[in-house]
Amino acid sequence: MKKLFIFSIFIIFCQLLFSSPNYNNGNGTIESVSEKDGIKTTIRKCEIDNVIIGNLLYDQYRTIYKNYDFSSPIGNLKDNDKIKVLQTCTHEYLDKPKIKGTNFRGEIWYKIQYEETIGWICINMDSETLTQNPHQMVPYDDNDYEILEIIESAGKKWTIRKLGGLVAVWERLNVRDKPGLGGKKIFLLHDYETGSPGEFYTIFATTEETEKIDGLPDHWLKIEYAPNKYGWIFGGYTTVERGGPKYYTPENIVLYDLIWF
């Protein structure tokens, strides 16, 4: 009986160990998960200092609440207020259909500190009186930016993080088997005359570290350069066709919700 109990505890420990995404106890680390009445609540660590409130935080999202609900307002944010972001919280409504164009239905909250006040702001609301923004991005959605592996290449260590996105390439660009110039060349994008239109590639991962090549500091990106074939390109020679940050890391999403455009 005692052996069975110890074995059960070991199984539970392994499930917790291997089911949690790896953020190395940094931003993105899941601090609690609960489910009640068809609502899944996930709280993650997300510490960002010296955030200046700007016009990207709409007026209806500036109320500070004591908890991640709408029952106890305790303050209101104004332009140019300096805050610290502490955590993210998502209320995902499991029994509601997804909005077209998004995989998420629910509320997104940020725990903040403003002067001596610590509370929560809701930047994506879903209730009977407040309509959700279907274009709102969810920080850490599908465990974005978790650490996938560490790759060594030409004496350098690269921290590989999960990241989605789309980039365009307009010129001949080497694809390598590993990030960094020490990676072996395995393919050449735009292997024909210059002046051709841009080609779009899906990002699957990025290096946390950056490298400067030809004066351009940027990350290395893992892309699918041909069906079921993957490799690394230098992000400094890629572009995006939209406003906002080039890479929507979770921290960039949080900042893009709060600061000046």
The enclosing domain of 191 has a CATH number of 2.30.30
Is residue 13 a part of any domain in this protein? no
Is residue 21 a part of any domain in this protein? no
pLDDT of 244 reads: 83
Is residue 51 a part of any domain in this protein? yes
**Domain check: are 225 and 178 in the same one?**
yes
Residues 23, 31, 205: CA angle, nearest 5 degrees? 25
Q: Which amino acid is at 11?
A: I
Q: Write down the pTM of the prediction.
A: 0.86
**Domain check: are 101 and 178 in the same one?**
no
Distance CA 254, CA 138 (A): 9
**Domain check: are 95 and 155 in the same one?**
no
pLDDT of 190 reads: 85
Using the 3D structure, point to which of 105, 140, 175 is the last residue of a domain: 140
Using the 3D structure, point to which of 140, 171, 199 is the last residue of a domain: 140
pLDDT of 4 reads: 43
**Domain check: are 115 and 98 in the same one?**
yes
**Domain check: are 122 and 37 in the same one?**
yes
Q: How far is C-alpha 49 from the geometric centre of its chain's CA atoms? A: 17
- Residue 94's domain comprises 26-140
Is residue 252 a part of any domain in this protein? no
pLDDT of 242 reads: 80
On whether the CB atoms of residues 117 and 72 are closer than 8 A, the answer is no
**Domain check: are 34 and 132 in the same one?**
yes
pLDDT of 105 reads: 83
**Domain check: are 53 and 117 in the same one?**
yes
pLDDT of 95 reads: 84
Is residue 245 a part of any domain in this protein? no
Domain count, the chain: 2
pLDDT of 132 reads: 58
pLDDT of 3 reads: 46
**Domain check: are 161 and 208 in the same one?**
yes
pLDDT of 5 reads: 40
141 contacts: CB under 8 Å, gap ≥ 6: 103, 104
Tens-level pLDDT at each residue, the chain (261 residues) = 444 444 433 443 443 444 699 999 999 999 999 999 999 999 999 999 999 999 999 999 999 999 999 999 999 999 999 999 999 999 998 987 665 555 678 899 999 999 999 999 999 876 544 455 657 889 999 999 999 999 998 889 999 999 999 999 998 999 999 999 999 999 999 876 655 678 999 999 999 999 999 999 999 999 999 999 999 999 999 999 887 899 999 999 999 999 998
**Domain check: are 177 and 213 in the same one?**
yes
Distance CA 193, CA 210 (A): 29
Is residue 234 a part of any domain in this protein? yes
**Domain check: are 156 and 134 in the same one?**
no
**Domain check: are 89 and 119 in the same one?**
yes
**Domain check: are 102 and 197 in the same one?**
no
